[in-house]
Structure 1
């Protein structure tokens, strides 16, 4: 058994304020800003004013939700803090439901971004028409598995790749923003009229606004990643809230400028007819730079994808150590990467790529994410009253918590009540199906001998082994629960 000092050397607190902000900035700005404008416009009834207002409102909602969520990571500054918090506040079954939903929503988000990335890479080869679906899906599968190989190479390679791709995405979005504003100022009268009469189109109803919010909030998704890796942050009680405010403020400013830039060049109908809005935009402005924009946009999406694969594999790794996922997911290769967790995630994402529809996938992800956030806010309130003396270096204002809960209820219940869709039924059935797995395989631990045989086989096949500190981790967590 390793000592506490030796264990801590595996997860050192090396991420400070600057790098935490960069990491958060990197994972938020991915596919969303390049695909969500189409979905927001669609559910805003092509109303430019409503569309831009929703983008601004999504920024405010995301900041409130992220600051509320930050209390989880500052109270329990460890990797997989969301899972640990739910297990402590609402019990092991709710924590398992969180994992069960994550097993679906995270691969769905990865699949959506993989398809978008493939669309941007293939579109320049099919000028004037849509790229065929088969090459896009094959390329998306290849990209995802290349990221899996990159993660298996270890943290150093992932960090290097992340730094380069983040620099490229900032340059591309800066170019789109500045060029669009310049064209708007020096542009034609009809482009300015699009903003002067921004609210003249039809106004969407409540269910459409809820769907538009889900599309816009998808572009801001990822703000909880610092809580997920809180065990590796320096001074998490200070840095998590500061990183959230800094990164989301910058992201909101960039998103608004990019949307204004799109609308300064393209009409709402042209945006709706485009599979790759940024490529269509540059084809109208500087056609010779279409390839450069495609590569730049691709680097932006792949950077966010890489962050998601990296952080989520750590969440599943921690849940496996706690016995709520198969033991094989908590094994590491020689480069300290939970390869089985990465492989499982990519298998699920690959299955979702084959029949997927991009906007529908975004609705899946947004719907489940806000269910989870609502559960966390309930747990936060329960723990406030149940354990009032628990050390909380950062305490969010209760109005923020209630506001986040109200937003969660609105985004989850309004579409179901106003315009129920089949995917709502699928998601609810999927969540409830977690009960069928929790009782036999987690609560009663049936089939453990059979899973042990599979674990041994996969360990040999993948050349992975359990970490030396599993027992120490369980001991420390049980001591924390006993306090």
Structure 2
């Protein structure tokens, strides 16, 4: 077998420059073929554009509609104080997510690179802020979120076998680990398989939500309207509580920016990215709204606040012997959501490695499947490790505000790039009022969280700042032995996984 040359650990050219918008040909390189390089042209193994418009819609809806709407509507109700105010928060969270998604559509078509926030922050503010986002995502956000989704899947799939008590933790962890391994293999083998799984399970979870809505409508038409007599009684007006209610709602909408992580694999991204956003976000908002109306019609405020899984409590009350459908629906929902999250987030680390911010081995692409197998395996290993940490949920609390902070920085980058590079082509240009509104709301959330949860904010800030010495020791002034070790791992992964470095075409 021909020796596969390893790419350099650090990329010498500027990797965060905003590119010009031009179509470049993609050429698949088969196993055993050689790659020619010249001073004017480089072609080679690249990610393949296989994601169409409907697949993009399914990815956004599939990632957003995870366990949140089935399990945690009580968070919004708890900090809103009333069902009327809670519904307003749900709608405003959907509108805010839509505004943010449109801002990201401009960023994604102006900077048509995978990586989402990482690419946008780097283009606007340079490599250090981009690395800090990558650092937090690598250390906590992505693997912890995936681990929680996998554990939720296992808990609810096993629920019918232990109806009166919690399933043994060992069984939950083993099933969650098996799920992560299966989805990692699917993602490694074929992108089309990933999109098919996403399409199927997105349809399954939407059907489950329609069952909830149908049962709620039937319940209302039978004259059971007592929960709607005084919908705004008990509403909480404190800014801190309002911010926490928005955090709970936005958690259920999280994932609206995941399609931006895979822009390089999206067919005709200048058209399909904004179309997918404009279709999926209103659909999710309407689904969430009518689902919550069904919850509030059937369950009292006390029942919702005392439930750890509102959909399961709803099913026990309304579906009788068919109540097993709800735990199964939650399991299907989390399975599809994790599939989309693995697919998108692995591209984040792939792009980070391609830019020299992670070991170069993570930027390798399998020459047969054209998927970033080392990145997927790396992410899967991190997620498996976090399955066995008992306080995984606490880690999410520490960095909940960090997501809002880096989203704020990304949208700030949009405004900064408009000022710094006004002549850069923008296939989509949103009204200036949208990023301004989004910035104001994000600032409110970040500042309110600082006053309401100072300890968690402090821990999150420490995690961010801990990336600064890592950046200077490994990226800015790399230690020789670390560079040599990275190069050795890169060569080994190239041979073992039959991979080559991602190679762009330069004219």
TM-score under structure 2 normalisation? 0.85
| 2:269 is aligned with 1:236 | yes
Task: Pick closer, same or farther for the CA change 1:4–1:127 going to 2, 3 Å.
Answer: closer
Tell me the residue number matched to 1:89.
124
Q: Deviations for 1:395-441, whole angstroms, at most 9, x for unmatched residues?
A: 11111111111111111221212342x33222111100110110010
CA contact (8 A) 2:236 2:242 kept: no
| 2:74 is aligned with 1:41 | no
The correspondence of residues 425-464 of structure 1 with structure 2, limited to 5 A, is 425-446=458-479, 447-458=482-493, 463-464=496-497
CA contact (8 A) 1:109 1:365 kept: no
Q: 1:165 aligns with which of 201, 205, 212?
A: 201
Tell me the residue number matched to 2:377.
343
Tell me the residue number matched to 1:318.
351
Range with bigger deviation, 213-222 or 449-458:
449-458
The correspondence of residues 69-468 of structure 1 with structure 2, limited to 5 A, is 69-103=104-138, 104-188=140-224, 192-333=225-366, 334-356=368-390, 360=394, 363-364=397-398, 366-420=400-454, 422-446=455-479, 447-458=482-493, 463-468=496-501
Range with bigger deviation, 246-255 or 157-166:
157-166
Tell me the residue number matched to 2:60.
24
CA contact (8 A) 1:331 1:465 kept: no
TM-score under structure 1 normalisation? 0.89
Tell me the residue number matched to 1:54.
89
Aligned CA-pair RMSD: 2.5
Deviation at 1:320? 0.8
Unaligned runs of 5+ in 1: none
Range with bigger deviation, 391-400 or 136-145:
136-145
Range with bigger deviation, 272-281 or 440-449:
272-281
Unaligned runs of 5+ in 2: 6-23, 28-42
| 2:99 is aligned with 1:64 | yes
Distance 1:138 1:50 in 2: 40
Task: Pick closer, same or farther for the CA change 1:275–1:459 going to 2, 3 Å.
Answer: farther
Distance 1:61 1:297 in 2: 25
Task: Pick closer, same or farther for the CA change 1:123–1:269 going to 2, 3 Å.
Answer: farther
CA contact (8 A) 2:71 2:309 kept: yes
Give the SS at the match of 1:325. coil
Distance 1:68 1:312 in 2: 20
Give the SS at the match of 1:403. helix
Q: How many residue pairs end up in the alignment?
A: 466
Task: Pick closer, same or farther for the CA change 1:8–1:246 going to 2, 3 Å.
Answer: farther
Distance 1:255 1:360 in 2: 26
